[in-house]
Amino acid sequence: MAINNRILANISPSLEIVKGLTYKLNFGVDYSATSRNQQYKPFPAVVNESDVSNGVLDANVSANTNQLVENTLTYNWNRDVHNVTVLAGHSYQEFLDETGDHYLPRLCNE
């Protein structure tokens, strides 16, 4: 049995600080968590590479996070037929992957 939960969100507000100068924030997150439990019942008549003939219990857990933060300042200047736009910004992204595995072989006595 496997269970997967995921959150995917983004927010992007902007604010005009003074005429022509705008600050914009972009924040996003992607979070995923999965848990999976597998059980192989003992079946002595089967011999294979995974050695499940004696039974196996396998539990896996993983969590992945991706965060993004961007900050920008945009300045627009207009005079008659002249237009100037200046953009400055910063971007930061972080990834985090966590996993865990519990494996219990030979659930029956040999």
Residue-level pLDDT, tens digit, the chain, 110 residues: 788 899 999 999 999 999 999 999 999 999 999 998 887 777 666 665 556 667 778 889 999 999 999 999 999 999 999 999 999 999 999 999 999 988 777 766 55
Yes or no: say if 64 and 29 are a contact pair by the CB < 8 Å rule. Answer: no
Structural domain boundaries in the chain: 2-14+25-71+88-105
- Can you give 19-73 as a three-state secondary structure string? CCEEEEEEEEEEEEEEEEEEEECCCCCCCCCCCHHHCEEEEEEEEEEEEEEEEEE
Residue 48 token pair: 């294979």
**Closest among 34, 35, 12 to 24, alpha carbons compared:** 12
